[in-house]
Amino acid sequence: MIQISAYGPWAVVTGASSGIGEAFAHQLAAAGLNVVLAARSADKLESLGAALAVRHGISYRTVAVDLSLPDAATHLVEATAGLDVGLLVSNAGTGAPGRFLDQEITDLRRRLTLNAGSHLELIHAFGRRFAARGRGGMVLMSALGAAHGIPNMAQDSAAKGYLLHLGETLHHELAHDGVAVTVVMPGNVDTPIIDTLGFARKDLPVRPQPVEKAVREMITAFLKGRATHVPGRMMRVMVRLMPRSQSIRMNGRMLGNAARNLAERERIGA
């Protein structure tokens, strides 16, 4: 099996300041790839990059960027113009549980740009660069709910569904250009987003998978040439066995509870 280092010498990782993106940065740097770290927090990125450089002897570049803004993806592409990038980990994304009609249209538009529009622009720009160099790879971070949509997270699951279908088709289309594409659909990975979204950990149906293990799985799936991958054996079993209608209802209830948890936190000022 090909090694991830073959997709160097540079990799771009968005959402790199925490969670899955940060774990990707650690594992790619450990494999010898130089990394471009992109997220909103310049301080966190610089601290991470410096630590990776010392630990693994790699080079790094940080790009502080808010990919929910319309021109941010273009800024990231331009910031890497002088680098021989061979791998894109398009990971940045977020969500906000709650009823669709209760949310402001400005917030919905912002998250649509982050969860779908920014990925589109990065995939298109880096895809052209990879095709021109004759080799490259993309790992695209969708979500488990993208397969069917989730009540109480309607817009965000729909945006992730766009990324899922785009990535699945490009897995086949770009193979002719030497570009490998894998879409990852994490459903229960132990990252700060679990708490940010308002989930009560004790109520989760499956114990969250450690993020380092999940990312190792994602990299292995990419290197094996899979079009899609759900990290975590138990999550894959649930996806195969649970009827679609039951999954929609269960996840909708969980997101409804998460929205109420967030509202209660706000009420008490937590």
What residue ranges define each of the domains in the chain, with the CATH number in brackets? 7-268 (3.40.50.720)
State the Cα–Cα distance between residues 8 and 35, nearest whole angstrom: 9
pLDDT for 270 equals 54
Per-residue model confidence as pLDDT tens digits over 176-215:
999 999 999 998 898 988 888 888 887 787 788 999 999 9
Phi, psi (degrees; rounded to nearest 5) at 219: -65, -40
pLDDT for 73 equals 97
Residue that is written with structure tokens 């273009």 in the block: 74
pLDDT for 2 equals 81
Interhelix angle 19-30/42-56, rounded to 10 degrees, is 20
Tell me which residues of the chain have a pLDDT lower than 70: 270
State the Cα–Cα distance between residues 112 and 154, nearest whole angstrom: 11
Phi, psi (degrees; rounded to nearest 5) at 246: -70, -40
pLDDT for 145 equals 83
Phi, psi (degrees; rounded to nearest 5) at 152: 70, 5
| 212, 234, 266 from 139: Cα distances, Å | 16, 22, 35
pLDDT for 79 equals 97
